[in-house]
A and B are shown apart, each in its own frame.
Chain A
Amino acid sequence: MPVLLVGLGLGLAAPLVGALAPARGRTLLAGGLSAAAGVLAAVAALGVLLGGPVLRARASGLLPLAGASVRLDALSAAFEVAVALVVVTAALFSMGYTHGASASRPATALQASFALGLLLVPVAGDVVSFLWAWELMAVASLALLLVEHDRPAARSAALWYGAMTQAGAAAIMLGLLTLAASAHGVSWSALAAARVSGPLAVVAFVATLAGFASKAGAVPLHVWLPRAHPEAATPVSAMMSGAMTALGLYGVARVDLGLLGAIGRWWWAGALVVAALSALYGALHAATATDLKRLLAYSTIGAMGLGLIGLAAAGELRASGQGRAAATLVVGVLVLVGAHAAYKAILFLAAGLIERASGTRDLDLLGGLVRGMPRVAGLVAVAVASAVGVPLAAGFVGEWLEIEGLVAGLSSHDPGGVATILVGLVGLALASGLVAVAMVKLLGIGLLGRARSEGAARAREPHGIAVAALGLPAAATLAMGLVPGPVVAVLGHALGTVLGARAGAPQGRWDALHVGVTASTLRPLALLGGLVTAVVVLRGLARVGSRGVRAVVAWACGRSDLTARMQYTATSFAEPLQRVFADVLRPDIDTTVSPEEEAREIERVIAYQSRVGDAVEGGLYRPVVRGADALGRRARALANGSVHRYLAYGLVALLVVLVVVG
């Protein structure tokens, strides 16, 4: 317990130091404190995961209404470790990276507050503390977007983000207060004891699911995410993408599965369809995006969609009596959350380094970075391997568990349930295929090949902690991928909170991972052994009778005057896919032909422009925004500046109140 409280205390000190310390050493001090807070929180959480007692603390006078309370059970701990990994990495990274406007007093204090909010959400022990922590996280990140308020893109992103996050928070508050109203007390355990059912449970379920899913970027509530994540400062976007979205899944696991899981299976079936659509939508946009950070933001929507598929399918399966398959799915989602936190932290922070070194984050202008930034390229390769599901990296373990759970559900289910779970499986499969395209594009176009601009050619990686910090999530990725057994074994402790039972939890030993329901085993170390053997044999063969390697000019079908502009770009790479999915993506394609002045039949310049906007935003949100705008303009007629009229309004209002009350 003391470890956790000291950690949170340090986390609380970080914003104060950020606000008070002089410019010299401000980022070092605040970053160091945030990192220390994350490390201590992770240590406490690991203690709980390894079988330690649930940690509880209360301070009754700290917050109005119910006081503040802290509760660290196994579910909290699983998410706390993932969040802490991102927070520590981002804090260490910003010690070497942040300067200029992002190192101002407000920005430093806000970033530390955001980190504190992220660490507090999973350990909040009751509804009131949870809502405070949630708002701290939301408001701090919103304000961080406004640090660069001189850029119109950042202002617009902040507006969207502010509206969506506050609407989401209101929905969560509505749902949680509905629950709390029928329970004795506001702590999670009191809510669990109340066993709310009937229409109230449905209200609470829909409201909280909408709020949490919006935080996790589920379609159609995702519109803020691809705007906000790319516009934030780099460490902030890493924390938003790797940690904050994951807390949306935490909410679904804790409240919707843990407290309201008994709700009818068809509600979960509906959630599963939404989850599958959002996984697909995010992955598809990631595959066609050309802005590095926008690609990453959309791939976050895809990855969180995979997590939501797992949780929704677990809800459906448990409601129809297949708790063992559900247990596999939930553990799979927890692994996926950890894997995503690690690889997305690497990718976003590396994107920041690349943007700073080359002056652009447009993939069409990058390329060849592996020469100037070899260490960053290696770290990105590890993250990409995890994201696409290369066996031996963490992402694969999560996907593996999730597919095992889905297949287990499929093989012992009634036809209606099979149709539902099948939606999840197809969504997961297609989304992972599309994410692979996005990640190959990131690696192949962004880092390999030849530089497509001056900036990319000159890009050099910085020395020091900014790059070294990325080694932490990279190590976590490989460790989880190679030795997933112990990780999965300890994550099984969280099942009691989520599903109420631990039956069917995947078992882990140090060298193997076993899923009982499908009788399948994963032995990553044996796979590694096989792979190393194969490589050694191939390398050995290469020595025998080899005549070596010679550096040559690329053959390129006989052309020797290749320029960098003849390579495929991110746009052309994704063009076939954009065509295949044109109905979903609705790209704007403009071809302008400008002829010669003297001879109109000769074309001088052909300009091709293709832009993929967000179809959901255009179709669903624009009309609402326009309607609200029109209503506002109409309402102006009511306020014409005449004091007499305003007095009349007051009088009428008073009369109405009196009539209604009387």
Chain B
Amino acid sequence: MTAVAVALVQVLVVALGGLLLTGLMAKVRARAEGRVGAPVTQPLRDVAKWLGRESPRATAGTALAIVPTVVVATTALAATLVPLAGVGLVDATGADALVVVFLLLTGSLALAVGGLATATAFGGMGASRAMTLSALAEPALLVAVAAFAVPAGSLSLPAMLGHALDQPLTMVSPSHVLAALALLVVVVAETGRMPVDNPSTHLELTMIHEAMTLEYGGRDQALVSLGAAMRLGLLLGMLGVLTVPWGLATSAAPLALLGGLALSALKATVLAVVIALAEVHSAKLRLFRVPELLAAAFVLAALAIVVGVVAR
């Protein structure tokens, strides 16, 4: 019962937190650039506003109608699987890291299919670019997650985090640092942040994620934006707990769980601020240079595995 409650709370926290983090990152960027910027709650207000509008759909057919639902549903399901509060709960759904990776992949594939279904040039362009990057980012994510899994010998997320909590010294090992760096690069690419994609661009030709979602409006737009924000919140949260698992509850006590969840949110917030500050000082990479960045993430993750074994 606790497990189900925690899972539901996690979905809510990831949804709200993702929206707030999106707003926070925009605010940090604005302040760093000397602007006032929109309030942190702006993404939340936007989504609430769009939810009350009618949805214009360009092409009749099921593809465009189901894509927003698929994106949010798969991300929400993934949010229940990552132990953001504690590792001591009864494993109810099979909290396997691979399931999380492939659920996120399902969401991004659905978005790309939706982009192609619009039958417009921009939709296709966004889908093509997103899939080119995803073809390299998803594998890098998989290998980076495996790099965290190898020391524990398990791909089950509670087992991975529990192992790291039991042996705190592994957290300062070179292999752990390399794996964390690899995951950071992948998270930046997967959430469409600079230098891979510019989330606040207004120029269609430079868009990746936004180009796929141009044709959504109203409620559909709300769901797509919510999905992207949840993805950001979840990936940052996952990066936070995998890199520094301290503070996660090891029992099922409600207070410990709440504390763990709060600490995970704090870690994600810190990461968000750091990424936003880094964004201010970086220029967007040319599309054909991004694969080099992702290849670097690949090499880091592979190195992390090898270094970990040699040091064992």
Contacts and interface: CB of A to CB of B under 8 A. Distances in A.
B135 interface: yes
A411 B120 CA distance: 47
A522 B140 CA distance: 22
Interface string A510-554: 001000011111110011001100110011011001111111111
Nearest to A547: B54
Given A548-B55, A556-B120, A430 B139 contact: yes
Interface string B134-151: 111111101100100111
B152 interface: yes
Contacts of A579: 288
Interface string A362-373: 000001101100
Contacts of B146: 403, 406-407, 410, 425
A546 B119 contact: no
A391 B103 contact: yes
Contacts of A433: 134-139
Contacts of B63: 370, 448
B132 A567 contact: no
A434 interface: yes
Kindly state the interface size class of chain A when it binds its partner: 35 or more
A546 B92 CA distance: 34
Contacts of B124: 449, 567-568, 572-573
B193 interface: no
Nearest to B137: A433
B52 A370 contact: no
B131 A440 contact: yes
Given A370-B63, A549-B55, A527 B77 contact: yes
A526 B92 contact: yes
A609 interface: no
A519 B159 contact: yes
B76 to A, nearest CB: 5
A588 to B, nearest CB: 20
A523 B129 contact: no
Nearest to A431: B139
A331 to B, nearest CB: 16
B121 A567 contact: yes
B127 interface: yes
B215 A554 contact: yes
Interface stretch (A71-79, A130-138, A265-273, A414-422): A414-422
Contacts of A396: 102
B106 interface: yes
B74 interface: yes
Contacts of B218: 547
B152 A522 contact: no
B69 A539 contact: yes
Contacts of A531: 73-74, 77
Given A407-B150, A449-B116, A545-B51, A440 B143 contact: no
Contacts of B39: none
Contact of B121 (A388, A439, A538, A566): A566
Interface in B195-211: 204
A653 interface: no
B121 A429 contact: no
Contacts of B72: 534, 538
Given A418-B309, A573-B128, A520 B156 contact: yes
A448 B96 contact: no
A568 B62 CA distance: 20
Nearest to B52: A545
Interface stretch (B17-25, B256-264, B272-280, B298-306): B298-306
Nearest to B113: A444
B214 interface: yes
Interface in A416-452: 418-419, 422, 425-426, 429-430, 432-434, 436-437, 439-441, 443-445, 448-450
A572 B128 contact: yes
> From DSSP, what is the main secondary structure of chain A's interface residues?
helix
Most chain A CB within 10 A, of B62, B134, B142, is at: B142
Nearest to A577: B132
Nearest to B96: A520
Interface in B60-78: 60-63, 65, 69, 72-74, 76-77
B72 to A, nearest CB: 6
A160 interface: no
A541 B223 CA distance: 11
A388 B127 contact: no
A437 B132 contact: yes
B82 interface: no
B132 A551 contact: no
A541 B139 CA distance: 35
Contacts of B309: 410, 413-415, 418
A519 B117 contact: no
B45 interface: no
Given A433-B136, A551-B57, A555-B214, A523 B305 contact: no
Interface string B157-181: 0010000000000000000000000
A551 B60 contact: yes
Contacts of A415: 306, 309-310
A426 B302 contact: yes
Given A433-B134, A547-B218, A568-B121, A444 B127 contact: yes
Contact of B127 (A439, A549, A573): A573
Contact of B219 (A370, A527, A542, A556): A542
Contacts of B59: 450, 554
A61 B113 CA distance: 58
B283 interface: no
A580 interface: yes
A400 interface: yes
Contacts of B52: 545, 547
B73 A520 contact: no
A584 to B, nearest CB: 13
B109 A440 contact: yes
A389 interface: yes
A557 interface: yes
B251 interface: no
Nearest to B60: A551
A403 B154 CA distance: 11
B86 interface: no
Contacts of B135: 287, 430, 433-434, 436-437, 577
B113 A521 contact: no
Contact of A566 (B93, B120, B134): B120
Given A410-B305, A440-B116, A522 B288 contact: no
B288 A521 contact: no
Contacts of A390: 102, 105-106, 109
Interface string A143-159: 00000000000000000
A399 B142 CA distance: 12
A408 interface: yes
B102 A389 contact: yes
B153 interface: yes
9 contacts: A403-B155, A411-B154, A433-B135, A436-B134, A519-B159, A521-B96, A535-B73, A551-B56, A575-B128
Interface of B: 51-63, 65, 69, 72-74, 76-77, 80, 91-94, 96, 98-99, 102-103, 105-106, 109, 112-113, 115-125, 127-129, 131-132, 134-140, 142-143, 146, 149-156, 159, 204, 214-215, 217-219, 223, 287-288, 291, 298, 302, 305-306, 309-310
Q: Which 8 A-B residue pairs are closest in the complex by CB-CB distance? A: A568-B124, A444-B116, A429-B139, A554-B58, A547-B54, A411-B153, A534-B73, A448-B117
Given A411-B149, A411-B151, A548-B55, 20 more contacts: A399-B98, A400-B99, A403-B146, A406-B146, A407-B149, A426-B298, A429-B138, A437-B135, A444-B115, A450-B59, A526-B92, A527-B93, A534-B73, A535-B69, A539-B69, A546-B219, A566-B120, A567-B124, A573-B127, A576-B128
